[in-house]
């Protein structure tokens, strides 16, 4: 059987052909590989360069590769944070004709790290909590679209910095399945499995001296259950309000927006006596601030980054002479937003030398500058301005930020 590459992106197959498919992944030469952090996996995984892009290659059976490939495509269509599938490679043979395992190829998620790389220096309890918060949000989003993960863990997740928090991405869909709706038992199974897996992973870090002494693995693992339950309840619960206080519905929707979710459909019913109103959010989509920022500016960011940038954008708009939300002849928000991108966001990012920008994506970099500007301004009791902020950030902060590409884990 000749080598076959089944791909979703027509621009990739030719580049993928240059990789040494006649060798087992464990024997791929250094010149074919990219040194990036790898997490623990039950399969052999390597990072390689295909054309101008970095891809992750995982050796797995053909049935498993095809299944995970399709599941990842489904998650992409559902706008769930997960790695992008690129191709499945079959028909691999060694030089002597010995069959080799097929491979699943996914796109490397820029700026992401496996959890073990993040614990190379002892992580503070607050940071561990933010990682678990991100994982709980990911699990809720999966369950809302009917995806049962079947193996939720830190090992099967990648994390990206998202303003002051983290965004979690599913990296292994091998055990998952998609259904129209999950039962409470299926959701409970995923939650309980996450609790057991996370406790084990934190215990492993504790044994290696990489866990802060105040972090109890069992307590922190159990906390993800309460985080998940609280968020699920807030997103899906039915509310009953007095008929005279229907503005409570708007308040509930704003609270969901603050959590980063949009209500795409709702059900509102008046009681037979007319004294109460029942409100049930029918479909809840994540990424409220992401979509708002993308619509206004064209910037595609993480959710908390979008919230931070929108706050800055709104404050900047109020300083513009042609901004008047009550005047139909005033500049439209989209016009002002694109002006902000041209005059504020891009110039600020470009003030950072090109060789240093790769340490974080532009949205995260701008958020960091906003945070540093607030800190400097508080200390000086005046607005220090963006130029002074960038100079201070380049001198005192950015040199201490680790370069993700320089963090190479020895884990398989």
So what's the pLDDT on residue 371?
Answer: 92
Token pair listed for 361:
């994506």
Please write down the long-range contacts of 361-365, taking CB distance under 8 Å and 24 or more positions apart: 361/110, 361/111, 361/301, 363/299, 363/301, 363/302, 363/305, 363/306, 363/309, 364/111, 364/161, 364/162, 364/163, 364/302, 364/305
The yes-or-no verdict on residue 328 having pLDDT over 80 is no
Sheet holding 276-286, edge to edge: 239-242, 276-286, 261-270
Assign 411 a pLDDT band (cuts: 50, 70, 90): very low
What is the distance between the alpha carbons of residues 143 and 175, in angstroms, rounded to a whole number? 14
What is the distance between the alpha carbons of residues 314 and 321, in angstroms, rounded to a whole number? 14
| Residue count of the chain | 412
- Residues 303/167, Cβ–Cβ less than 8 Å: yes
Q: What is the dihedral of CA 115, 121, 127, 128, to 10 degrees?
A: 50
**DSSP-derived secondary structure letter, 341:** I
Q: Which domains does the chain have, with CATH numbers?
A: 4-108 (3.30.200), 113-236 (1.10.510.10), 239-286 (no CATH), 295-402 (no CATH)
Assign 145 a pLDDT band (cuts: 50, 70, 90): very high
Looking at residues 24-47, what average pLDDT do you find?
A: 82
So what's the pLDDT on residue 83?
Answer: 93
Q: Which residue has the tokens 């019913």?
A: 269
Q: Which of 338, 310, 72, 402 is nearest to 301 (CA)?
A: 310
Q: When comparing pLDDT for 176 and 278, which is higher?
A: 176
Looking at residues 208-218, what average pLDDT do you find?
A: 86
Q: What are the φ and ψ backbone dihedral angles of 59, each rounded to 5 degrees?
A: -80, 130
> In this predicted model, what pLDDT tens digit does every residue of 262-281 receive, in sequence order?
887 778 788 887 778 888 87
What is the distance between the alpha carbons of residues 311 and 43, in angstroms, rounded to a whole number? 43
Looking at residues 67-75, what average pLDDT do you find?
A: 95
So what's the pLDDT on residue 122?
Answer: 59
Looking at residues 102-131, what average pLDDT do you find?
A: 83
What is the distance between the alpha carbons of residues 108 and 85, in angstroms, rounded to a whole number? 10
Measured N-to-C along each axis, helices 247-258 and 217-236 cross at an angle, to the nearest 10 degrees, of 140
Please name every residue paired with 7 in a beta bridge, in sequence order, or none if there are none: 87
Q: Between the CA of residue 360 and those of 49, 305, 329, 356, 363, what are the distances in Å?
A: 20, 12, 39, 9, 8
Q: Is 159 helix (H, G, I), strand (E, B) or coil?
A: strand
> In this predicted model, what pLDDT tens digit does every residue of 335-351 receive, in sequence order?
899 999 999 999 999 98
So what's the pLDDT on residue 367?
Answer: 93
> In this predicted model, what pLDDT tens digit does every residue of 277-314 receive, in sequence order?
888 877 667 788 888 999 999 999 998 999 999 999 99
The yes-or-no verdict on residue 257 having pLDDT over 50 is yes
Q: Which of 105, 99, 164 is nearest to 129 (CA)?
A: 164
What is the distance between the alpha carbons of residues 21 and 2, in angstroms, rounded to a whole number? 11
Token pair listed for 127:
């940071």
Give me the numbers of helices (H) and strands (E) for the chain, helices first please. Answer: 14, 13
**DSSP-derived secondary structure letter, 321:** T
What is the distance between the alpha carbons of residues 90 and 2, in angstroms, rounded to a whole number? 8
Q: When comparing pLDDT for 38 and 304, which is higher?
A: 304
Assign 407 a pLDDT band (cuts: 50, 70, 90): very low
**DSSP-derived secondary structure letter, 172:** -
> In this predicted model, what pLDDT tens digit does every residue of 346-383 receive, in sequence order?
999 998 888 777 778 899 999 999 999 999 999 999 98
Q: How many C-alpha atoms does 402 have within 13 Å on its Cβ side?
A: 15
Q: Which of 19-33, 36-50, 137-151, 211-225 has the highest mean pLDDT?
A: 137-151
So what's the pLDDT on residue 412?
Answer: 37
Assign 259 a pLDDT band (cuts: 50, 70, 90): confident
E-only strand ranges, 249-315:
261-270, 276-286
Looking at residues 325-335, what average pLDDT do you find?
A: 74
So what's the pLDDT on residue 283?
Answer: 65
Q: What is the mean pLDDT of the chain?
A: 86
Q: What percent of the chain has pLDDT over 70?
A: 91
- Residues 150/190, Cβ–Cβ less than 8 Å: yes
The yes-or-no verdict on residue 408 having pLDDT over 70 is no
| Helix then strand then coil, % of the chain, to nearest 5 | 45, 20, 35
């Amino acid at each position: 059987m000749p080598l076959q590459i089944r791909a979703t992106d027509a621009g990739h197959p030719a580049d993928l052909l240059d990789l040494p498919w006649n060798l087992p992944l464990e024997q791929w030469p250094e010149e074919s590989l990219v040194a990036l952090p790898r997490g623990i996996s039950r399969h052999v995984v390597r990072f390689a360069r295909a054309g101008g892009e970095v891809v992750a290659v995982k050796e797995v059976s053909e049935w498993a590769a095809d299944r995970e490939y399709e599941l990842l495509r489904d998650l992409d269509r559902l706008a769930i944070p997960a790695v992008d599938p690129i191709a499945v490679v079959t028909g691999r043979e060694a030089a002597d004709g010995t069959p080799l395992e097929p491979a699943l190829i996914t796109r490397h998620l820029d700026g992401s790290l496996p959890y073990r790389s993040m614990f190379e220096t002892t992580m503070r309890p607050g940071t561990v909590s933010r990682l678990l918060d991100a994982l709980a949000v990911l699990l809720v989003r999966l369950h809302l679209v009917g995806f049962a993960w079947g193996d939720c863990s830190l090992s099967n997740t990648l994390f990206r910095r998202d303003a002051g928090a983290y965004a979690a991405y599913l990296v292994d869909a091998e055990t998952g399945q998609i259904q129209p709706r999950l039962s409470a038992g299926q959701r409970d199974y995923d939650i309980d499995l996450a609790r057991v897996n996370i406790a084990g992973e934190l215990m492993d870090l504790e044994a290696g001296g990489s866990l802060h002494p105040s972090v109890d693995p069992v307590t922190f693992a159990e906390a993800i259950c309460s985080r998940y339950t609280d968020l699920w309840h807030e997103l899906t619960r039915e509310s009953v309000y007095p008929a005279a206080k229907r503005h409570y519905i708007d308040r509930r929707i704003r609270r969901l927006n603050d959590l980063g979710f949009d209500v795409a459909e709702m059900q509102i019913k008046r009681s037979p006596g007319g004294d109460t109103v029942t409100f049930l959010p029918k479909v809840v989509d994540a990424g409220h601030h992401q979509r708002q920022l993308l619509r206004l500016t064209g910037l595609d960011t993480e959710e908390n980054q979008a919230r931070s940038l929108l706050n800055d954008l709104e404050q900047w708009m109020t300083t513009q002479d042609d901004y008047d939300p009550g005047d139909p002849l005033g500049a439209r928000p989209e016009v002002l937003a694109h002006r902000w991108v041209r005059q504020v966001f891009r110039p600020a990012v470009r003030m950072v030398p090109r060789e240093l920008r790769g340490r974080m994506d532009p949205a995260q970099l701008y958020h960091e500058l906003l945070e540093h500007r607030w800190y400097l301004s508080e200390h000086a009791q005046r607005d220090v301005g963006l130029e002074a902020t960038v100079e201070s950030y380049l001198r005192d902060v950015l040199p201490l930020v680790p370069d993700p590409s320089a963090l190479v884990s020895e884990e398989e």
